[in-house]
Amino acid sequence: MLGTHKNYLFLFLFIFNTLSANEFSDDKDLRDAFNKSLKASDELNQATQNNPYNFIDSNAQKMVLVLTKNSELFDSDREMYEQKIKDIFEPMIDFRRVAASVMGKKYYLYATKEQRTEFVEIFKDSLLDTYAETLAQWGDSTISTQFQDNFINKELQTVEVKQTLDTGSSKYPISYKLRRDKEGWKIINIIINGVNLGLTFRNQFQALAISNNEEIESTLDNWVSDAGDAGIS
């Protein structure tokens, strides 16, 4: 319930902040109200970013809103529909750390700095495409988050946040592993319905590397993240 109230507040502030400040230029009270709303929005964003449960839940509810309010785009403009999902999901993930984990220590050390950077971009694009395409097919779904009351552990560097995805016909447990960095909390792994995506993708990378005689460049050229094998499609 707490998460729901915060989502309503966030939505109100977002709508309010989209109004142009120029509209208030002739009214000091309205201009002051606008400035206060900006400050409140910044504080709310910071609070959300500092709490991993709020961070995951607020973005999940944004995702649900995109899925339900833009359903007509699913058939008319699938690319735009999936891009709206990507715009929410991309900032949530530490792609550099996830990509390094997928490569595994052996192949990460084999790779040059340029190849490591290249794989971050390749992996990011393939994962976002797959995730967006999968979510797009879920349509009218709801997501509930298991909150931890009074989360105040500022020293904690990693945390697990659990959710349940309800598609109407089935329910899927989702577990996010997050790590705190200087920008706040970022996802470093996802487990959906018991399937560890990070481990699945790492196994795929290792198998692909072996089939390409452990040549990193050939492995990168042939990389496709097969999330279908990870049980999310």
| Helix intervals (H) in 111-196 | 113-136
Q: What residues does 171 pair with on adjacent strands?
A: 166
User: Does residue 72 sit within a domain?
Assistant: yes
Number of domains present in the structure of the chain: 1
pLDDT for the residue numbered 129: 80
Q: What residues does 144 pair with on adjacent strands?
A: 164
Burial of 13-36, coded b for 16+ CB within 10 Å and e otherwise, reads beeeeeeeeeebeeeeeeeeebee
Residue 142 pLDDT exceeds 90: no
Q: Which domain range does residue 162 map to?
A: 51-230
User: Does residue 37 sit within a domain?
Assistant: no
User: Does residue 104 sit within a domain?
Assistant: yes
Q: Which of 165, 159, 209, 208 is nearest to 188 (CA)?
A: 159
Strands ordered across the beta sheet of 171-181: 142-145, 158-166, 171-181, 184-192, 195-196
Give the separation between CA 19 and CA 37, rounded to whole angstroms. 11
What sign does the dihedral 227-230-232-233 (CA atoms) show?
positive
Structure tokens given for 180: 């705190």
Give the separation between CA 213 and CA 219, rounded to whole angstroms. 9
Give the separation between CA 63 and CA 8, rounded to whole angstroms. 15
User: Does residue 46 sit within a domain?
Assistant: no
pLDDT for the residue numbered 78: 80
- CATH number of the domain within which 196 lies: 3.10.450.710
pLDDT for the residue numbered 29: 60
Percent of the chain with pLDDT over 70: 73
User: Does residue 60 sit within a domain?
Assistant: yes
Residue 44 pLDDT exceeds 70: no
pLDDT for the residue numbered 224: 81
Least confident span in 16-20, 178-182, 185-189 = 16-20
Average pLDDT (167-196) is 90
Q: Which residue has the higher pLDDT, 232 or 213?
A: 213
Give the separation between CA 210 and CA 106, rounded to whole angstroms. 12
User: Does residue 136 sit within a domain?
Assistant: yes
User: Does residue 15 sit within a domain?
Assistant: no
Top mean-pLDDT range of 8-12, 17-21, 213-217: 213-217
The answer to whether the CB of 192 falls within 8 A of the CB of 222 is: no
User: Does residue 14 sit within a domain?
Assistant: no
Q: What's the farthest any 2 CA atoms get from each other in the chain?
A: 70
Give the separation between CA 40 and CA 38, rounded to whole angstroms. 5
Residue 3 pLDDT exceeds 60: no
pLDDT, mean over the chain: 79
| Helix intervals (H) in 90-141 | 95-110, 113-136
Cα 17–chain centre separation: 23
pLDDT for the residue numbered 4: 44
**pTM for the structure as a whole:** 0.73
Structure tokens given for 201: 């993708």
Cα torsion through 117, 86, 141, 174, rounded to 10 = 20
Q: Which residue has the higher pLDDT, 206 or 81?
A: 206
Q: Which of 131, 134, 127 is nearest to 99 (CA)?
A: 127
